Chain A
Amino acid sequence: MTRTKQDIFQQLQKDLLLLQGFKIAQASNVIDIELGSIANAFPNGCFPTGAIHEFITTEKEHAAATSGFIGGLLSGLMKAGKACVWISRSRTLFPPSLKNFGVEPHQIIFIDVKNEKDMLWAMEESLKCEGLAAVIGEISEINFTTSRRLQLAVEKSRVTGLLLRHRPRSLNTIACIARWKIIPLPSETDDGMPGVGFPRWNVTLLKVRNGKPGSWKLEWSAGHFQHIYANIPAIQEEQIRKTG
């Protein structure tokens, strides 16, 4: 009896999503981004491409962690030699580092703009360009109306837009599908070996439209996102002074 009830619930949820305009992606169009259980936080249980994602950062270190995480996402999006556009006003990203996250840095086109107006224009134009893997915009302030324009652009072109908002003045509501926050975590090495391990992050989904927000711990190793479930053991004193 309970089984059937759950089935009915699930079916109803799916129908609701369809009514809200969330189409189940075609099997051929599915881009598999190996996010593991994070994908379950999204409607239909897969990472939504062709939408706007928002990344909030407050510190420089967090921005670095976020660009690493985005690199991981891009490696999935940019498969099959797709290109991507990175728009920014003051760029500090070091392209070769993306190679470690499985992205070909020469497939990214960097556009440096002078003011917010040009930024939004370039962002909208790029998002209208069908076939791009992703458009990344380092924009801190954006209002709801402008974000709607971007949303309308991606609805047509199905390009994924990623907004990097570094120290926004206010966390205003914008038309995005998810709001992420990535914070670096202390890395771990095998068997307590000295040195710095693979990058680890605490990935938080602050907001998901029609989904369940949550928080996960991820590590980027061997070209994949890997979930960390075990507690991180405390760092032993002797280890501190060791170097690799």
Chain B
Amino acid sequence: MAKRFVSIWFRDLITDWLILRKPAYSKLPFVFATPDRGRMIITASCQLTRAQGIHAGMAIADARALVPSLHVFDDTPGRSEKLLRGLAEYCIRYTPVAAIDLPDGIILDATGCAHLWGGERAYLTEINKRFKKAGYHVRMAMADTIGAAWAVARFGQVKAIIESGEHTNALLPLPAAALRLEPGIIARLQKLGLYQAGNFIRMPRPALRRRFGEALLLRIDQALGTEEEMIQPVQPPEIYQERLSCLDPIITATGIEIALNRLLNKLCSRLCQEEKGLRVAICKCYRVDGKIEQMEIGTGHASHNASHLFKLFENKIETIEPGLGIELFILEAPKVEDVPAWQQKLWSGSCGVEDTSLAELLDRLANKIGNGNIHRYLPDEHYWPERSIKLSTALHEKTATAWQTDRPRPAQLLSVPEPIEVTAPVPDYPPMLFRYKDKVHRIKKADGPERIEREWWLEEGPHRDYYHVEDEDGQRYWLFRSGHYSVDKKPRWFIHGFFA
């Protein structure tokens, strides 16, 4: 399908904007100016002043000499870009791809859009009418390439709509400046007597490259359509998006549920066909009073299971305040990943950590109690008990090292070792008895010591000598002495865990 572009040129962007805001100035001469090397230089002038010979680039002092009653406004940088962005966003009603074209234009990718307005002429008339009604003076053109549309919009004399394939002919009578060239190149072209694009557009390329550089060739190629030109849309279109507009505003939870179900079914069937799954989904509810309520869910793995995703949303429906009613629902999937097409299992027996039903369960839990409360542990290469396990970041993460079984480790580990009072025959014998929480335990059997050094590259402190002990009731404990015995200091003993 041939591409069609519309270039809109705002001749008096800033001055039109000011007149819109302050209608009193529509009959008064005024300019915008910005300080430049100690002088005030005009950046934009209204139609009235232009008629009197005041144009952009003049100094204010010179302009005042011509028109003593001139009003001067400060021009702030970035204002025209802000204005154009707003106008381009407005143009999204005509095409999903609207881009700003600094300093004073908008480019619309109208491919496949015009027929919705009943043809290209009606399409342009409609846009023109809208802007005129809003108070902007615009010129616009439609052509196969951005370059040609730009040129015709600004310099065209005959017609605004260049039929498909006719853009080269339309360019020929236009001046060299219509090709979006730098002033230096234009001056050089004019010096050689090449005033119209037709004079040089068909010249041999090596000759043009030698005299004018690569930039001219690029602009010619872009205008003729041999080189693709990209535009940056103001609102990047969300690829995975579904909309549902309602005839009557929706105010009940049941209504929201039905809407969500429909959107999810549509989106998921599309994702399923493309073998994709979403990781993040946002449901935006546009209220009658202009506010937007939204709920967001995330999944641990890419999913296109509508009923699962609905369950995730279900808990969040109560956070939506419908107010006077919701008239539009939009479901977006900003993060989408590939889902390999698994063959559906005929019966599901076992469920490992990689299984989807477990992942779906964890999604539900994570959405309710928070993702930070779900842990899975992997062995880490440390002997220090607190560091011997690490949190796994993903459900699919495999163990790089094996779990250690050569040393006894307690079934229950206290997060902070608790001090105990111990009677122990010196040196390095297991204790005979210890007092923990006001209860004396006489030790009958013991294993140890197992010395675990603190890793000096991580932290400093005394080592631990661990003993695996059993008291007279058969209860098994993990005790340790912190550091060496010393003459002047009493050794400190701790309980760190309970064995099974």
- Chain A residues with CB under 8 A of B477: 61
B391 nearest in chain A by CB position: A110
A77 CB to nearest chain B CB (Å): 11
Query: How many angstroms from the CA of A80 to the CA of B500 in the assembled complex?
Result: 25
Query: How many angstroms from the CA of A184 to the CA of B355 in the assembled complex?
Result: 36
Interface string of B343-373 (1 = CB under 8 A from A): 0000011111101011011101100110001
The reply on B462 being an interface residue by CB < 8 A is: no
Interface string of A27-55 (1 = CB under 8 A from B): 00000000000000000000000000000
Q: Which of B405, B472, B500 has the most CB of A within 10 A?
A: B500
Given contacts A94-B412, A97-B411, A105-B377, contact A187 B404 (CB under 8 A): no
B398 nearest in chain A by CB position: A106
Q: Which of A130, A133, A196 has the most CB of B within 10 A?
A: A196
Q: Which of A83, A105, A111, A201 is the one whose CB lies under 8 Å from B403?
A: A105
Query: How many angstroms from the CA of A108 to the CA of B497 in the assembled complex?
Result: 20
Q: Which of A83, A94, A194, A199 has the most CB of B within 10 A?
A: A94
Contact B358 A196 (CB under 8 A): no
Contact A108 B376 (CB under 8 A): yes
Query: How many angstroms from the CA of A95 to the CA of B350 in the assembled complex?
Result: 22
Contact B369 A114 (CB under 8 A): yes
Interface string of A181-193 (1 = CB under 8 A from B): 0001111010000
Interface string of A79-119 (1 = CB under 8 A from B): 01111010000001111111111001111111111100010
Contact A96 B365 (CB under 8 A): no
Q: Which label, helix, strand, loop or mixed, suits the secondary structure of the A interface? A: mixed
The reply on A141 being an interface residue by CB < 8 A is: no
Contact B415 A92 (CB under 8 A): yes
- Chain B residues with CB under 8 A of A240: 443-445
Contact B350 A131 (CB under 8 A): yes
- Taking residues whose C-beta sits less than 8 angstroms from the other chain, chain A's interface range is 35 or more
Contact B378 A106 (CB under 8 A): yes
Contact B361 A125 (CB under 8 A): yes
Q: Which of A94, A100, A131 is the one whose CB lies under 8 Å from B355?
A: A131
Contact B446 A199 (CB under 8 A): no
- Chain A residues with CB under 8 A of B11: none
B361 nearest in chain A by CB position: A129
- Taking residues whose C-beta sits less than 8 angstroms from the other chain, chain B's interface range is 35 or more
Within 8 A of B (CB), among A56-78: 59-61, 63-65, 67-69, 71
The reply on B474 being an interface residue by CB < 8 A is: yes
The reply on B498 being an interface residue by CB < 8 A is: yes
Contact A196 B373 (CB under 8 A): no
Contact B409 A132 (CB under 8 A): no
Within 8 A of B (CB), among A108-156: 108-114, 118, 121-122, 125-126, 129-133
Contact B448 A64 (CB under 8 A): no
The reply on B430 being an interface residue by CB < 8 A is: yes
- Chain B residues with CB under 8 A of A165: none
Contact A94 B497 (CB under 8 A): yes
The reply on A235 being an interface residue by CB < 8 A is: yes
Given contacts A110-B377, A111-B365, A129-B361, contact A83 B500 (CB under 8 A): no
- Chain A residues with CB under 8 A of B361: 85, 125-126, 129, 132
Given contacts A83-B358, A106-B392, contact A94 B376 (CB under 8 A): no
The reply on B173 being an interface residue by CB < 8 A is: no
A197 CB to nearest chain B CB (Å): 8
Contact A94 B468 (CB under 8 A): no
The reply on B379 being an interface residue by CB < 8 A is: yes
- Chain B residues with CB under 8 A of A104: 403
Given contacts A65-B500, A69-B500, A132-B358, contact A96 B403 (CB under 8 A): yes
Query: How many angstroms from the CA of A19 to the CA of B238 in the assembled complex?
Result: 58
- Chain B residues with CB under 8 A of A111: 365, 369, 373-375
The reply on B447 being an interface residue by CB < 8 A is: yes
A104 nearest in chain B by CB position: B403
- Chain A residues with CB under 8 A of B414: 92
Q: Which of A71, A93, A184, A243 is the one whose CB lies under 8 Å from B474?
A: A184
Q: Which of B399, B413, B429, B474 is the one whose CB lies under 8 Å from A200?
A: B474
Query: How many angstroms from the CA of A65 to the CA of B379 in the assembled complex?
Result: 23
A129 nearest in chain B by CB position: B361
- Chain A residues with CB under 8 A of B377: 95, 105-106, 108, 110
Query: How many angstroms from the CA of A67 to the CA of B497 in the assembled complex?
Result: 13
Name B's A-contacting residues (CB within 8 A): 348-353, 355, 357-358, 360-362, 364-365, 368-369, 373-379, 385, 388-389, 392, 399, 403-405, 408-415, 425, 429-430, 432, 443-448, 468-470, 472-477, 497-500
What are some 7 contacts across the A-B interface (CB < 8 A)?
A69-B500, A81-B350, A109-B375, A110-B375, A130-B351, A196-B476, A235-B444
